[in-house]
Structure 1
Amino acid sequence: MEGILALLIPIFALMIPMVAIWTKHQQKLAEMGLETTAATTAEKAAQYATQIQRLEDRVQVLERIVTDKGYDVATQIEALRDARSMDDAASGTPLSFESRERA
């Protein structure tokens, strides 16, 4: 029994530094993983910011188009409606539900 105990004490004494080295190694691996994750997240955030900026620019262009030529667009839509109503009136087809009620 004393022989086994005498053998286990040096084994445990050698295992303590090995566990400490392994723990430090695991900690370094975890830190490297965090750094990699942080870098990847920063890249994705930059990509998303670029995409958002592009979308905002496109929306601004669309807003400019609509507000600058808003009257022309409304006039063109009304002209198309008028042309369609003339075609539909000639063919006898009602334009909408309201015109069906009147008929």
Structure 2
Amino acid sequence: MSLPEAIAFCALIVGFIVAAGIVLSAYESRMKHRSKELELQVRLAEAKGRQRSDAEIGRMEERLQVLERIATDRSPDLAREIDALRLADEREQVQ
């Protein structure tokens, strides 16, 4: 192997090493970005879950108040109110 060939070979090896470094750096950057993206998706899902559970708790409290009123009220409209609750529950389940 002559001197120019050896220099060309070394330059080729150095070029491969530099190219590999660039590719690995880009991959690492992509993985960091993907990790942050997934973290944000988890936070968004947690927030949606909290909102949904807060809404469900609110609906349950409303129903409990109505049921307490029905249980303590001795009016003749009791059957009508119970049917209205059943219909409301069926509508919530459909949604």
TM-score normalised by structure 1 residue count: 0.61
Unaligned residue ranges in structure 1 (runs of 5+): 78-103
How many residue pairs get matched? 75
Shift >3 Å, 4+ stretches = none
Residue 24 of structure 2 corresponds to which residue in structure 1?
A: 23
Q: What TM-score do you get using the length of structure 2 for normalisation?
A: 0.65
Aligned residue for 2:47?
Answer: 46
Q: Percent identity at matched positions?
A: 8
SS of 1:69's equivalent in the other structure is helix
Q: Distance in 2 between matches of 1:25 and 1:8?
A: 26
SS at match of 2:45: helix
Q: Cα RMSD (Å) of the superposition? A: 2.4
Q: Unpaired segments of 5 or more residues in structure 2?
A: 80-95
**1:1-103 correspondence runs (5 A):** 2=1, 6=6, 7-72=8-73, 76=78
- Higher Cα Rg, which structure: 1
